[in-house]
């Protein structure tokens, strides 16, 4: 057992002051058997060091944003320079234009953008804008997709809520939840039925175009095309939540992802962004078609504001992060390493007799302890959570840090080395062996 005495002490202390001892439920170890989470002290490249001095290879990447690895020199330098110039002005700055322009260049569906502070805010505001633009109230979302913790989207949300067995949060009025219609991902017929029934009231269909919140799940060929066609046929807008997916698989979003089967037909009206575009500092952004974005104050009647929005440090970190990602070969390397890792995990699990389904898209993949494909939330739920918890613990003991939930992905970063991947495969084989022998 790795010594984690200090983590245990800090957890005791944290619980006295911070609710549940963590500042986001997905950081707790509740879904993987409970107990003290690991308190990290330092991170560099693809590695973490905890408060007891243990070293880990990191596949959490802070739930996505840390795609360049921790403390990347270019990103760090940008943050330091921003801090030296004063971290917050409450005025317009030139750097905001630089990041906005970079986003627009990479995401052609954005005529205009607005920066906010989190993915939650970004999605929340796209919904407000869609409602303002259509003068309708209802939203269609897909079961298990997570869109942040605002009232409207915390209905049949995946990720944290499903991990903790809270399909719906307390504190959300029925009147609000009743404005949300949930249909299964990858199910065109059910979407069609929902639009036939409620179409005249639907402001937007909101989707993670590639799901990252009940594992990594690709849309079936034609599904996003159907989403766009059916939504528009009903007079509703299409919102893509690309908080996880933007700049994850290539320098852009799913909207221009070459591997996509139906890419020509999948441009949304509004896009929500976050995570990677802030290089690890708090950020969110949303944007879309000019006429739709003209709803937003000060141009239009839909209000959205923020003291911290577009803050110089986040914007500078985001620009630096995108610079790193724009270099040639970056995604190819993550793709090759993730392919090697996923293939090795599959081989090892199979040799040890542990059923495992892996969904991989470039440098991100999910491991589902089951012997069936995972294409929607129901199938992701129908996997062995106890096996995952055991695997998580075995890997942790061997210095591999995975997200503490069976629904979260493994993320490669530009900092992972081939030696990291080999060490991970060795740890995984020993973990599967221990599980098979149990």
- Which residues are part of the catalytic machinery? 146, 241, 275
Whole-number Cα distances in Å, 299 to 93, 295, 338:
19, 7, 45
Using CB under 6 A, pick the residue from 213, 254, 314, 375 that binds ligand PMP. Answer: 213
Query: Does 215 contact ligand PMP by CB under 6 A?
Result: no
Can you tell me the distance from the alpha carbon of 161 to that of 392, in angstroms, rounded to the nearest whole number?
Answer: 19
Using CB under 6 A, pick the residue from 58, 96, 179, 208 that binds ligand PMP. Answer: 208
Q: Quick one: which segment of 81-89, 103-111, 143-151, 286-294 binds ligand PMP (CB under 6 A)?
A: 143-151
Query: Does 315 contact ligand PMP by CB under 6 A?
Result: no
Hey, which bits of 330-417 come out as E strands? 357-361, 364-368, 400-401, 410-411
Shortest approach of ligand PMP to residue 119 CB, angstroms? 2
Within 57-199, residue ranges assigned H as helices are 73-84, 94-106, 119-134, 159-163, 174-177, 188-198
Contacts of 419 by beta carbon, 8 Å cutoff, 6+ apart: none
Measure CA 71 to chain center.
20
Query: Does 243 contact ligand PMP by CB under 6 A?
Result: yes
Closer of 37 and 274 to ligand PMP (Cβ)? 274
Structure-block tokens of residue 337 = 């390493």
Query: Does 146 contact ligand PMP by CB under 6 A?
Result: yes
Can you tell me the distance from the alpha carbon of 324 to that of 413, in angstroms, rounded to the nearest whole number?
Answer: 11
Query: Does 348 contact ligand PMP by CB under 6 A?
Result: no
Can you tell me the distance from the alpha carbon of 15 to that of 237, in angstroms, rounded to the nearest whole number?
Answer: 43
State the helix-helix crossing angle for 385-397 and 418-437, rounded to 10 degrees: 130
Helix (H, G, I), strand (E, B) or coil at 379: helix
Which of the residues 155 through 174 are near ligand PMP (CB under 6 A)? 159
Query: Does 253 contact ligand PMP by CB under 6 A?
Result: no
Which string of x and - marks every residue 222-241 that binds ligand PMP (by CB under 6 A)? -------------------x
Query: Does 148 contact ligand PMP by CB under 6 A?
Result: yes
Query: Does 37 contact ligand PMP by CB under 6 A?
Result: no
Closer of 144 and 212 to ligand PMP (Cβ)? 212
Q: Quick one: which segment of 41-49, 142-150, 296-304, 371-379 binds ligand PMP (CB under 6 A)?
A: 142-150
Shortest approach of ligand PMP to residue 283 CB, angstroms? 8
Query: Does 185 contact ligand PMP by CB under 6 A?
Result: no
Q: Report yes or no: 209 and 224 within 8 Å, Cβ to Cβ.
A: yes
Q: Quick one: which segment of 102-110, 145-153, 214-222, 339-347 binds ligand PMP (CB under 6 A)?
A: 145-153
Query: Does 408 contact ligand PMP by CB under 6 A?
Result: no
Can you tell me the distance from the alpha carbon of 175 to that of 182, in angstroms, rounded to the nearest whole number?
Answer: 15
Query: Does 141 contact ligand PMP by CB under 6 A?
Result: no
Within 254-376, residue ranges assigned H as helices are 290-293, 312-325, 330-351
Other CB atoms within a 10 A radius of the CB of residue 39 amount to: 18
Closer of 213 and 414 to ligand PMP (Cβ)? 213
Which string of x and - marks every residue 66-105 that binds ligand PMP (by CB under 6 A)? ----------------------------------------
**Count of residues that interact with ligand PMP, criterion CB under 6 A:** 17
Query: Does 363 contact ligand PMP by CB under 6 A?
Result: no
DSSP labels, 219-275: PPTTHHHHHHHHHHHTT-EEEEE-TTTTTTSSSS-GGG-TT-TTGGG---SEEEEEG
Closer of 96 and 208 to ligand PMP (Cβ)? 208
Query: Does 212 contact ligand PMP by CB under 6 A?
Result: yes
Q: Report yes or no: 105 and 111 within 8 Å, Cβ to Cβ.
A: no
Which string of x and - marks every residue 104-133 that binds ligand PMP (by CB under 6 A)? --------------xxx--x----------
For ligand PMP, which residue has the nearest CB?
119
Structure-block tokens of residue 391 = 């695997």
Structure-block tokens of residue 163 = 């991990």
Whole-number Cα distances in Å, 191 to 37, 179, 206:
39, 15, 12
Q: Quick one: which segment of 3-11, 82-90, 141-149, 332-340 binds ligand PMP (CB under 6 A)?
A: 141-149
Q: Which residues of this protein are in contact with ligand PMP, per CB under 6 A?
A: 63, 118-120, 123, 146-148, 159, 208, 212-213, 241, 243-244, 274, 284
């Amino acid at each position: 057992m790795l010594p984690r005495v200090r983590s245990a002490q800090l957890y005791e202390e944290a619980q006295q002051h911070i609710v549940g001892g963590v500042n986001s439920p997905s950081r707790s170890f509740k879904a993987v058997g409970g107990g003290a989470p690991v308190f990290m002290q330092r991170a560099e490249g693809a590695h973490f060091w905890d408060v007891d001095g243990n070293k880990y290879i990191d596949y959490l990447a802070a739930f996505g944003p840390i795609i360049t690895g921790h403390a990347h020199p270019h990103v760090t330098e940008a943050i330091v320079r921003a801090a030296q110039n004063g971290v917050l002005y409450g005025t317009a700055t030139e750097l905001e234009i630089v990041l906005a322009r970079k986003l627009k260049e990479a995401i052609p569906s954005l005529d205009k953008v607005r920066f906010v502070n989190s993915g939650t805010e970004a999605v929340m505001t796209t919904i407000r804008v869609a409602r303002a633009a259509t003068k309708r109230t209802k939203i269609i979302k897909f079961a298990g997709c997570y869109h942040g913790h605002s009232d409207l989207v915390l209905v049949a949300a995946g990720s944290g809520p499903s991990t903790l067995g809270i399909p719906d949060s307390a504190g959300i009025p029925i009147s609000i939840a009743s404005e949300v219609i949930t249909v299964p991902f990858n199910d065109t017929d059910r979407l069609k039925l929902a639009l036939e029934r409620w179409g005249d009231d639907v402001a937007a269909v909101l989707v993670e175009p590639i799901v990252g919140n009940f594992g990594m799940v690709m849309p079936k060929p034609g599904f996003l095309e159907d989403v766009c066609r059916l939504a528009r046929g009903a007079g509703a807008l299409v919102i893509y939540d690309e908080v996880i997916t933007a700049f994850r698989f290539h320098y852009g979003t799913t909207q221009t992802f070459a591997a996509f089967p139906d890419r020509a037909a999948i441009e949304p009206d509004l896009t929500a962004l976050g995570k990677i575009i802030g290089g690890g500092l708090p950020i969110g952004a949303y944007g879309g078609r000019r006429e739709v974005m003209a709803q937003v104050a000060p141009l239009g009647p839909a209000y959205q504001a923020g003291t911290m929005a577009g803050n110089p440090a986040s914007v500078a970190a985001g620009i630096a992060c995108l610079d790193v990602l724009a270099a040639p070969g970056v995604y190819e390397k993550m793709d090759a390493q993730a392919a090697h890792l996923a293939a090795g995990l599959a081989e090892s699990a199979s040799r040890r007799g542990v059923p495992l389904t892996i969904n991989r898209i470039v440098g991100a993949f999910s491991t589902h302890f089951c012997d069936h494909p995972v294409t929607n939330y129901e199938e992701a739920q129908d996997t062995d959570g106890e096996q995952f918890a055991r695997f998580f613990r075995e890997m942790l003991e061997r210095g591999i840090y995975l997200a503490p939930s069976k629904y979260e992905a493994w993320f490669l970063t530009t900092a992972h080395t081939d030696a990291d991947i080999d060490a991970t495969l060795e740890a995984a084989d020993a973990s599967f062996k221990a599980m098979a022998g149990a």
